[in-house]
Structure 1
Amino acid sequence: MTSEPTTDAPADAPAAQPAPAIEPDTKDWTWVLREPCPECGFQAADVDVHAIGGTVRDLTPRWISALNREDARVRPEPQVWSVLEYGAHVRDVLRVFDGRLALMLEQDDPLFENWDQDATALADRYDLQDPVLVADELADAADVIADRFDAVREDQVERPGRRSNGSVFTVRTLGQYFVHDLVHHLHDVRA
């Protein structure tokens, strides 16, 4: 589901020192399925599952533009991810959620594999990846999941899947939760 980390940093990239740790996000964000997000204003419950593919395609150019900023590698504060780190995270969100959606469409009530996004960011050195390559990979991953959501039939919309913490999703709510992640992180990087 995930590829090797893209750590082919250009010569002008920062030296490979450990990235400053970011406070892990331990919140259970599933509440965004019931109420608007006060940070980004997104209302996940309003998302039509059959419009998700188009929404992903509409948001992708904003991510590519952000990742092509000259300061994409720069953290605005030591404890806040750079645009590059957010972009690498979103690329992986696209991949992880595509895998989860595929499971939900192929299996009855699958249990999703755990994914520690903070551990992945450190292990894959999001901070040292190439922003141009991340933009390309994000665009490719966006195309894949957009196509998969476009192919969801009406009789598949309420198929369930579960996280190990007990959160239950349907194809619809997984899509709504997923789109919030994309929009929210665009808000984070001001794109």
Structure 2
Amino acid sequence: MAIIPDTKDWTWVLDEPCAECGFDASAVEVERAGDEVRAMVPRWRVALARPAAAERPDPATWSVLEYACHVRDVLLLFAERLRLIREQDAPAFPDWDQDATAAQTGYAAQDPVAVAAELGPAADAFAAEIALVTDWTRPGLRSNGSAFTAESLTRYGLHDLVHHMVDVDA
């Protein structure tokens, strides 16, 4: 069974705590978010070392490995988007289909050891971009026209990372 694509607009987590994972965007100190991003990597590595990391808990739910691949790619995506916000005036972000990426790059068949090794550099890339932000109000635009700021994008990205750690009990 294929994974049913998640089509929810999760930006509501910027306005209220996420009941599923407990993340509260208003509690995030964006200047320290890079430290939080890096602190998650060891927990992901432990989760990826589980014997069943590549097995789906059910046919419609990603495995720990697939979630970790997604997290790696989210870290790189958000690093790139923060870079665009810093370097361009109101950049338009290209669409990203997480489910298509998972299928096209074969998340389920990737090597857990390799993915564990890739998480550190990906977290470092996002954390480095966070550290370079000097104006947290600079905007970037989603393809649907809604705007993020450097601050809200950082908070939104951090939610994704925290939420998926809860998804895999890491």
Once residues 97 and 134 of structure 1 are traced to their aligned partners in structure 2, the CA distance between those partners, rounded to angstroms, is 18
Give 1:161's match in structure 2, choosing from 140, 155, 159: 140
Give 2:21's match in structure 1, choosing from 12, 16, 40: 40
Give 2:67's match in structure 1, choosing from 86, 94, 101: 86
Once residues 93 and 113 of structure 1 are traced to their aligned partners in structure 2, the CA distance between those partners, rounded to angstroms, is 14
Q: Offset at 1:46?
A: 1.6
| 2:166 partner letter | H
Aligned-partner SS, 1:27: coil
Instruction: Give the match for residue 103 of structure 2.
Output: 122
- Report the identity percentage: 58
Structure 1: 4+ residue segments shifted above 4 A: none
Count residues in correspondence: 170
Q: How does 1:131-170 map to 2 (within 5 A)?
A: 131-153=112-134, 156-170=135-149
- Give the TM-score of the pair, scaled to structure 2: 0.98
Q: How does 1:34-73 map to 2 (within 5 A)?
A: 34-73=15-54
Q: Offset at 1:45?
A: 2.1
- Cα contact 1:64–1:139 (8 A) shared by 2: no
Once residues 38 and 74 of structure 2 are traced to their aligned partners in structure 1, the CA distance between those partners, rounded to angstroms, is 15
Instruction: Give the match for residue 150 of structure 2.
Output: 171
- Give the TM-score of the pair, scaled to structure 1: 0.87
- Which ranges of structure 1 fall in alignment gaps of 5 or more residues? 1-19
Q: Offset at 1:167?
A: 2.0
Higher helix share: 2
